[in-house]
Structure 1
Amino acid sequence: MTLANRTGFTPSSFILIGIPGLEDFHPVFAAPLCGVYIVTVLGNSTLLLAIKTGRSLQQPMYFLIALLCCSDLVLSSSILPKMLALFWFKAEQIPFNACLVQMFLIHTFASVESGILSAMAFDRYVAVCNPLRYPSIVANSLIGKLALAILIRAGSLTTALPLITHRLPFCTRYIAHSFCEHIAVAKLSCADVTVNNLYGLAASLSIAAMDFPCIGVSYTQIIRSVLRLPKGDRRKAFSTCVAHVSVMSIFYVPIVFSLALHRLHNSIPLSVHIIVVTCYLLIPPVANPLIYGAKMKEIRKAVLQMLPLGKT
């Protein structure tokens, strides 16, 4: 065992610790997390069904929302079932390859979500600034191409994460996390993980470098265009962006907060880091369908029509 710890080994499985220091509270956390997962699945599935069946929702904007729902479902389902098994039943063990698959799915669909939000910003820019040309610019074919580009970008950037992690020799199997986050796994290695750190940072910066300018430019143009309108029309124009701005805030603000915590990593407990990362991955999928359902009249109408009372 001493020799293995010095030279490293490839484990058949890892052991997830959960939230270090708060292991006794795992069953307490499991109940609300189960509720989050149920609401996430029901909310996003309902939204997808409403968009599929609602005639008035067969438009590019709603297809983007449908893509966001699909991404949310995959992201939540790649994390929460295993986390619930860990917290409720102490199912701490996760096979090595399953851990790498989970790592790939988490990082890929977090990237996909950012890409979709960027595409939505462009959609809102065209809708507000060039409403007459909107049908010709933002066609269904364009949404299909954007979706493919977002998936290819995410996959090309994140496929390397499990590959460069797979090559590492490990000194321990115990992951101080609730799921297989890239750096949390890489830190278990006996070898130098500079490549993992640099590539993870480069991938994150590449996504930010593509998405943030698109969002920033789109909303700068939206604000400039709306401020030229008569006061009576400004509120109506801004209202078309409220849902998207709310969804972006829920997704990006926790990420910024998490990055700030990393700068203070020596004074912030590890459990706080894990809770923040878990929140920014799990809160958007449960909140997004609720926001769109509350803020968008057409979606509310389509959902109500799906109910027995809505058909009478």
Structure 2
Amino acid sequence: MAEAPQPNSTFLRPTFFLLTCIPGIGSAQAWLTLVFGSMYLLALLGNGALLAVVQIDTTLHQPMFLLLATLAATDLGLATSIAPGLLAVLWLGPWLVPYAACLVQMFFVHALTAMESGVLLAMACDHAVAGGRPLPYPILVTKARVGYVSLALALKAVAIVPFPLLVARFGHFRAKTIGHAHCAHMAVVELVVGNTQANHLYGLTLSLAVSGLDILGITGSYGLIAHAVLQLPTQEVRARAFGTYSCHICVILAFYVPGLFSYLTHHFGQHTVPKPVHILLSNIYLLLPPALNPLIYGVRTT
């Protein structure tokens, strides 16, 4: 049974953390297992199939589809970093996770989230160039440049390493029970004994800087796309193009809105937003985009 944090008790760095279920959901827990399990299955099948098709069909070895494959690989990693543990907690109840494994999960969740954000920006820029300057597109966007962009995005993801390092510097904890379904950075920070200002500032700055800059770039790219679509000759073609890109925008919003809400809630809304709502949204924004991206980006782009 999970122990409650005790204000006058401290623990040395624990060997294990106890991940708890989402509080206050009662009988809905079984339904959530079905929902999140379906999301994970869709993510595995959709992104796996997409990677297989791009690998097998050599005619798809083009920059646009290589970016799509990068997104699919990122989605597979992101979904797998959280879904198995989440489903275990929902299905079996509180789940023991080793301290080191908790930090590893924390790294991959945040690193792959940053990677996903960067790939979405790269794909938006690719679409803007393809729509606005189709003739010089093969010269401007090459396989080599896609490789450089992917490497830069991977390096940006590695820059998220300070999250687990900032937690590992603490030697004492108020409790061993994480009130979350996965090892979220701020959920672990709530348990530590010591000055956590650096963790709060780093998390807030990173979420606003990385996501904020990516959102600005995506907004600008889709502004250029909208301008290019309006120049198309017929209403039917314009409507079809707007339909495709509006689906893209919906998936992008499904990724960014719950994510920013989750970050900001941890810093400013802990007493106004119910914790079950916060935990549900933080899991949805990590699993919903990987489930939808193969359907929206993969099918529409092909």
TM-score by length of 2: 0.89
What amino acid is the match of 1:165? V
Alignment of 1:109-148 (within 5 A): 109-148=112-151
Alignment of 1:195-274 (within 5 A): 195-232=198-235, 234-235=238-239, 237-238=241-242, 241-258=245-262, 263-274=268-279
Do the aligned residues in 1 keep the contact of 2:50 with 2:69 (CA within 8 Å)? yes
- Alignment length (residue pairs): 295
Q: Which residue matches 1:160?
A: 162
Do the aligned residues in 2 keep the contact of 1:8 with 1:189 (CA within 8 Å)? no
The answer to whether structure 1 residue 280 and structure 2 residue 285 are counterparts is yes
**Bigger mean CA deviation after superposition, 99-108 or 262-271:** 262-271
The answer to whether structure 1 residue 81 and structure 2 residue 80 are counterparts is no
What amino acid is the match of 1:162? P
Unaligned 5+ runs, structure 2: none
Do the aligned residues in 2 keep the contact of 1:48 with 1:66 (CA within 8 Å)? yes
**1:122 Cα deviation (Å)?**
0.6
The answer to whether structure 1 residue 40 and structure 2 residue 43 are counterparts is yes
Q: Which residue matches 1:62?
A: 65
**Bigger mean CA deviation after superposition, 76-85 or 26-35:** 26-35
Q: Which residue matches 1:308?
A: none
Do the aligned residues in 2 keep the contact of 1:44 with 1:289 (CA within 8 Å)? yes
Structure 1 pair 291/198, CA: closer, same or farther in 2 (3 Å)? same
What amino acid is the match of 1:254? P
SS of residue matched to 1:216: helix
RMSD: 2.4
Q: Identify the match of residue 289 of structure 1 among 294, 298, 301.
A: 294
**Bigger mean CA deviation after superposition, 191-200 or 251-260:** 251-260
The answer to whether structure 1 residue 52 and structure 2 residue 55 are counterparts is yes
The answer to whether structure 1 residue 107 and structure 2 residue 110 are counterparts is yes
What amino acid is the match of 2:293? N
SS of residue matched to 2:97: strand
What amino acid is the match of 2:50? L
Structure 1 pair 223/31, CA: closer, same or farther in 2 (3 Å)? closer
Do the aligned residues in 2 keep the contact of 1:16 with 1:176 (CA within 8 Å)? yes
* Superimposed CA distance per residue, residues 223-266 of structure 1 (whole angstroms, 9 cap, x where no aligned partner): 23333443445345545634532331221232344457555432
Q: Give the Cα–Cα distance (whole angstroms) in 2 for the partners of residues 93 and 177 of structure 1.
A: 12
Do the aligned residues in 2 keep the contact of 1:242 with 1:295 (CA within 8 Å)? no
**Bigger mean CA deviation after superposition, 246-255 or 44-53:** 246-255
Greater fraction of residues in helix: 1
Q: Identify the match of residue 16 of structure 1 among 16, 19, 23.
A: 19
**1:206 Cα deviation (Å)?**
2.0
Do the aligned residues in 1 keep the contact of 2:21 with 2:94 (CA within 8 Å)? no
**1:214 Cα deviation (Å)?**
1.6
Do the aligned residues in 2 keep the contact of 1:109 with 1:154 (CA within 8 Å)? yes
Do the aligned residues in 1 keep the contact of 2:21 with 2:93 (CA within 8 Å)? no
* Superimposed CA distance per residue, residues 81-133 of structure 1 (whole angstroms, 9 cap, x where no aligned partner): 11222222235100000000000010110111100000011101110111001
SS of residue matched to 2:146: helix
Q: Give the Cα–Cα distance (whole angstroms) in 2 for the partners of residues 153 and 206 of structure 1.
A: 12
Q: Give the Cα–Cα distance (whole angstroms) in 2 for the partners of residues 5 and 240 of structure 1.
A: 57
What amino acid is the match of 1:253? V
**1:154 Cα deviation (Å)?**
1.6
**1:56 Cα deviation (Å)?**
3.4
Identity of aligned residues (%): 38
**Bigger mean CA deviation after superposition, 28-37 or 238-247:** 238-247
Q: Which residue matches 1:179?
A: 182
Q: Which residue matches 1:189?
A: 192
**1:294 Cα deviation (Å)?**
4.2
TM-score by length of 1: 0.86
Q: Give the Cα–Cα distance (whole angstroms) in 1 for the partners of residues 144 and 152 of structure 2.
A: 12
